[in-house]
Structure 1
Amino acid sequence: MRALAAAALAGVLVAALPATAALAADPKPDIAVTSAADKANYAEGETFTITVTVKNKSSVDAKRVHYTGGDSEGVDDVVYGELSTGFDLAAGATKTVQLTGKTNHVAWQRGYGYVAFELAADNGEANDADNITSVRLMVAGAFDDLGGYVFQGESYDAGWTPQTPGVEGVKVVATSADGKTKYAEATTDARGLFRLAQLPAGEVLLTFTAPAGWKILAGENGEYDHTPALVIADDSDEPQIYVPAKKVPVSSPSASPSASPSASSVAPSASPSAGPGLPVTGDNTMLFAVAGAVAVAAGIALALVARRRRVHLQA
């Protein structure tokens, strides 16, 4: 009896193995999606259209490709159309669909709105890396100020309190996110406070130039002198940016040129009427001059004595 039961169980397992292998080998569609807005900029309340390109990259037909979820900000009345109802997509095929909506006041305040969403097929998804897409909708027109502190700290994650000493004299420049367009410039006061006026809403890049003896610790690990920031119109006027800076040794100036030789080692300049002077050779020229004078005097004396002798002999 036990032998029959064991044989029956073995038969069930053997029968199940092909089915399991078939399930494991069953391929799934691979949905890839990209999207693009119809305009580069929008006004508040303007209707936008996003063109969505869906491609089935696998060799398996996709059944009812449809919107499964997503996120959005700064937009209203988004209509997904065929992405909501779904559509079949043959292996290797591509389909283009559209969705619409309107920008709202939040997009105007932040300088942009966005729509992000995910697609999938009823018969599965082979690769979740490329079935998600997002579109940013730029909304120009809003401006606001942006302020912050540059304060003394030993690391990039140093904390700030109202009692934390500031770093004075740091130049702060605000540019577009790509760094190509300059918007405004300011310098920190004695508290380390700076304020940049009338920046366009949206993402900006702040670059800090510290005075000698200070190093800016901006960025994720304090390795940079710049940091991104977001300008939101109608937002609080309170400072929003906090960047630490630490004291560093001041670089020594380069060595000054060697001092000129002292006056005692340089022959005095001759006056214009003195004629050319003797070259400086390091020899004691004065001693030679004196010796020469003595020799000349001795020669004159000998000549006089000899002359007297000739006169005496002639007499």
Structure 2
Amino acid sequence: MGDSTTTETSTYLAIGLGGDHLAALIADPRQASRLDGTGTAFVVAGIDRIDGSAPAGVTVEPTVAAAFLAVHAPGTAFLAAAAPHRDHPYNLARRIASLDHLSRGRSGLILGVRDGYAPGDTAWGGAGLTEGAPLGVGTTRDVAVAVQKLWQSWPRESIVADRESRIFARAEQIVHVDHRGVFDIAGPLTVPSTAQGSPVLAWYADSVPAVAAAGEVADLVVLGSGAPEPPGPDLIAQAAGALDAAPSSRFAADGRRPLLFVQVAVTGARGAADLVAEAESVAARPGVDGILLRPDADVDASVVADIVPRLAALGVVRPSEGPTLRDRLALPEPARLLDGARPVFPAPRPQPPLAFTPSF
């Protein structure tokens, strides 16, 4: 890395889009199709909700935006941004699972601690339905665990549609999650698991404690700095070390840790050459698996299309291909969290064939 003559690629590429960008792409879906030509591993929809940005004048709910854009950019994968500040884990799990079915496995969730567009200072307190829980790393971690369990509570392999026995689903395989934490959830989810097994689960973090917590539960971490400048070398090194040390429960004992993406801001005040040099420098840091280009609200998303080919020509980023987002990132299927969980329904009994007597 860092050698402009290299032909080897080493890091993944992602793009983070805020509410203004999403609204513009939805208004002109032809522009959304350009995302397919960037070679990105994924696009974050609504990153301004969770990265500490001031609320923009226009926004679109990220799962709605991702569902729309997935149709018009069928070669692009999307992570929808959310936080427990506004969204209950059950609602999040259901919306993301539905999005993953609609996109045929090209979707996932990226969590943050706080939603910049949500009122109040407690988790899920803005609706006035509960007293809420304090916002923080612990609450976000609890949401991540609860969502994972819900995604696994109705295995898609339980749907057998056996005409001979007249059994549609092996209902005994649908289980309670019985999650007890910041949020108590009995489950199960009302949506079966997806083509990926579970959608990809990411965490946006801007501190080492957040990275360490994410390392226990996430597929990947996006490291931001809370400033236009990318995270410095010390923070990147500390984040990589925290991921290496975290006892991951996301993967099935294969010695892997979550992927580490580092955010690089794309601002109108800087030329493409400077941005390419900065992205190349960040990608060369030990422990970095990917870079996430984050255009400012006043920067047209098409600027990214000028930067990406340069990074590819330098060998800074690798092409990302595959039918699902998990395939594109070479991520294994998550570890099973509900082995031995109590079933919701008894096992169905085979039924005799339907008797049909013509009425004529």
TM-score (norm 1): 0.19
More helix by share: 2
State the TM-score, normalized to the length of structure 2: 0.17
Hey, which of these two has a bigger chunk of strand by percent? 1
Give the number of the structure whose alpha-carbon radius of gyration is greater.
1
Q: Which has the higher contact order (CA 8 A, sep 6+)?
A: 2
